[in-house]
Structure 1
Amino acid sequence: MSTQIIEHIVLFKVKPNTDPSKIDSMLTGLNAIISLHQVLYLIADTLLRTQSSPFPFTHMLHTRYNSKDNQTAYSDHPSYVTVVTDFVKLICDDIMAIDWVPDSSIPRLPSGWP
């Protein structure tokens, strides 16, 4: 397995008038899968706003993996599939995923930076 950092962002458009407890359950479920060993970083939360987009996304998930193989294993993992099936698909009108490999030549903040 080759090591190459993969960044993954998913934007969610929650259906209007969704019970806030269902949104909380979705976010809690997504954030809980940080425990999977394939995941280097994970955060799911509410978006403050989106600009210049006809797609009013409301929430996001940002994850990081050290290989495409680990990203694939994560997306096939039963814990992830359960969250998507039991929460995400039931309350979201639209979902958009974006993956990229960061350019290692770009300076980064020091490790442990707040």
Structure 2
Amino acid sequence: MSIRIIKHIVLFNVKHNTDPSKMDSMLTGLNALISLHQVLYLIADPLLRTQPSSFPFAHMLHSRYNSKDNQIAYSDHPSYVTVVTDFVKLICYNIMVIDWVADSSIPRLPSSWP
């Protein structure tokens, strides 16, 4: 039996000269969204490296949901709306969103793969 998981990536570019404490607050607020029952997995962190180096994004959120309905409910949740309004929209000028369906019946590389 296959399980279809919705994977969600958001890439953020923060305005130049943003106070680091505001970036930390944004990441703290985003990471707190793991507590929402619709979320299977969520992490938000700065990017370590990007290729090509001209890639403009510096932070990323990666999350997973067991259905598109749960992802929609997450994005409509008041806690999510507050984080986006109070932090993300104030300090980010460029955001890219990528969603896809991951089918668990598709063979994956072994976990020991580099």
Taking structure 2 as the reference length, what is the TM-score of the superposition?
0.88
Counterpart of 1:30 in structure 2: which amino acid?
Answer: L
Q: What is the Cα deviation at residue 108 of structure 1?
A: 6.0
Q: Which has the higher strand share?
A: 2
Q: Answer yes or no: is 1:99 the counterpart of 2:94.
A: no
Task: Provide runs of 4+ in structure 1 moved above 4 Å.
Answer: none
Residues 6, 68 of structure 1: 8 Å contact kept? yes
- In structure 1, stretches of 5+ residues that fail to align are none
Aligned residues: 108
In the alignment, the residues of structure 1 paired with residue 54 and residue 97 of structure 2 have an alpha-carbon distance, to the nearest angstrom, of 16
Residues 31, 43 of structure 2: 8 Å contact kept? yes
In the alignment, the residues of structure 2 paired with residue 93 and residue 109 of structure 1 have an alpha-carbon distance, to the nearest angstrom, of 38
Q: What is the Cα deviation at residue 54 of structure 1?
A: 4.3
Q: Answer yes or no: is 1:83 the counterpart of 2:83.
A: yes
Residues 5, 103 of structure 2: 8 Å contact kept? no
Q: In the alignment, which residue of structure 1 is the partner of 2:48? A: 48
Taking structure 1 as the reference length, what is the TM-score of the superposition?
0.88
In the alignment, the residues of structure 2 paired with residue 71 and residue 87 of structure 1 have an alpha-carbon distance, to the nearest angstrom, of 20
In the alignment, the residues of structure 1 paired with residue 110 and residue 15 of structure 2 have an alpha-carbon distance, to the nearest angstrom, of 36
Identify which range, 50-59 or 90-99, moves more after superposition. 50-59
Q: What aligned pairs does 1:9-24 form with structure 2 within 5 A after superposition? A: 9-24=9-24
Secondary structure of the 1:5 match is strand
Percent identity over the alignment? 79
Q: What is the Cα deviation at residue 23 of structure 1?
A: 0.2
For residues 17-62 of structure 1, what are the alpha-carbon distances to aligned partners after superposition, in whole Å with 9 as ceiling and x for unaligned?
1000000000000000100000000000000121126441000000
- In structure 2, stretches of 5+ residues that fail to align are none
In the alignment, the residues of structure 2 paired with residue 65 and residue 103 of structure 1 have an alpha-carbon distance, to the nearest angstrom, of 12
Q: What is the Cα deviation at residue 65 of structure 1?
A: 0.2
Identify which range, 101-110 or 77-86, moves more after superposition. 101-110
Q: In angstroms, what is the RMSD of aligned CA positions? A: 1.6
Q: What is the Cα deviation at residue 109 of structure 1?
A: 5.7
Counterpart of 1:41 in structure 2: which amino acid?
Answer: Y
Q: In the alignment, which residue of structure 1 is the partner of 2:73? A: 73
